[in-house]
Amino acid sequence: MHHKDPLMTPVPYQHKVRAEIDRAARRLTVNRKPQEALKIIDQYLSEIDSADARLLLLKGNILESQARFAQAKKMYEAAIRVDPNNTQALTDLGECYAESRRSYTKALKCFNKAIRILQGGGFTDDLEDEYVTACTEKASLLVKLRRPEEALNVIVNGLQKFPMSRLLSDSLQEKQEIFHKLKTATKPLGQRIPKIWSAKRAVSRRTPSPAGRR
Would you state the pLDDT for residue 185? Answer: 62
176-194, pLDDT tens digit by residue?
Answer: 888 887 766 655 444 444 4
User: Does residue 106 contact residue 86 with C-beta atoms inside 8 Å?
Assistant: no
Q: Categorize the per-residue pLDDT at 13 as very low, low, confident or very high, splitting at 50, 70 and 90.
A: low
Report the distance separating Cα 214 and Cα 210, nearest Å. Answer: 9
Report the distance separating Cα 124 and Cα 195, nearest Å. Answer: 33
Nearest to 91 by CA among 106, 102, 70, 101: 106
pLDDT over 60 at 135, yes or no: yes
Predicted TM-score (pTM) of the model is: 0.78
